[in-house]
């Protein structure tokens, strides 16, 4: 699969203002896909984080008071966490919001597909940056067998280098996987 094909399959209207249940806190992430053989950028959170310690996730975070909207949040957080500056016009679409099981966030995922990216640099909120070949990664997806994880939505897991991606990040990956199926 080439970037052009991915762009056509993942391009959607962008509406960074969503209606939501007030019991959730708003957050957003940016799915960054790049390269001739498409690669997705993900991060590992440090073990000492308050929320999602040690989890594999996408760059992003909670809506700050000064953010114009959730797209600005995703772009700001991506720049802060991994040193990648993505502009609004490089965002080609968004996916359906997902909720977190334990931390009470409603996350709006945005998608950016670019030809290449510069070297990335992790801040203190990121333990490690992963550059994961997209197609083989998506093929590892399975339904999460743990019934405790299926309380709020159907859950999935994906695997990369013996690490399990689960929760909201896996549900976002599942949406991408579904968009790419013929």
What is the DSSP annotation of 13-27? Answer: ---------TTSEEE
- Summarised one tens digit per residue, pLDDT across range 63-78 is 999 999 999 999 999 9
Residue 47, SS3?
Answer: coil
- For residue 180, being part of any structural domain is answered with no
Does 117 fall in a domain? yes
105 occurs within a structural domain? yes
* pTM of the model as a whole: 0.91
Kindly tell me if the per-residue pLDDT of 159 is higher than 90: yes
pLDDT score of 52 more than 60: no
Residue 21 is assigned to a structural domain of this protein: yes
Indicate whether 149 belongs to any domain. Answer: no
CATH number, domain of 22, equals 3.90.79.10
In a domain? residue 140: no
Q: In the predicted model, is pLDDT for residue 19 greater than 90?
A: no
Number of folded domains in the chain? 1
For residue 101, being part of any structural domain is answered with yes
Structural domain that includes position 81: 3-135
CA 71 → CA 104, 110, 121, 150, 174, distances in Å? 19, 7, 21, 28, 21
**With bands split at pLDDT 50, 70 and 90, how would you rate the model's confidence at 167?**
confident
Q: Which two tokens stand for residue 176?
A: 């991408």
Q: Examine the pLDDT at 104 and tell me if it is beyond 70.
A: yes
Within-domain flag for 144 = no
CA distance 57 to 70: 17
């Amino acid at each position: 699969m080439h970037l052009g094909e991915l762009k056509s399959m993942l391009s959607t209207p962008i509406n960074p203002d969503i209606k939501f249940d007030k019991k959730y806190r708003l957050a957003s992430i940016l799915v960054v896909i790049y390269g001739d053989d498409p690669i997705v950028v993900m991060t590992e959170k440090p073990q000492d984080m308050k929320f999602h310690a040690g989890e594999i996730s996408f760059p992003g975070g909670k809506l700050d008071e000064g953010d114009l909207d959730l797209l600005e949040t995703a772009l700001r957080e991506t720049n802060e966490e991994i040193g990648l500056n993505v502009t609004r016009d490089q965002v080609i679409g968004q996916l359906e919001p997902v909720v977190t099981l334990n931390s009470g966030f409603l996350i709006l995922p945005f998608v950016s597909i670019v030809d290449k990216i510069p070297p990335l640099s992790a801040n203190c909120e990121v333990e490690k940056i992963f550059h994961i070949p997209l197609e083989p990664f998506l093929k590892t997806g399975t339904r999460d067998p743990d019934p405790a994880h299926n309380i709020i939505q159907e859950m999935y897991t994906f695997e990369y280098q013996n690490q399990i991606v689960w929760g909201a990040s896996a549900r976002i990956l599942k949406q991408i996987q579904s968009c790419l199926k013929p």
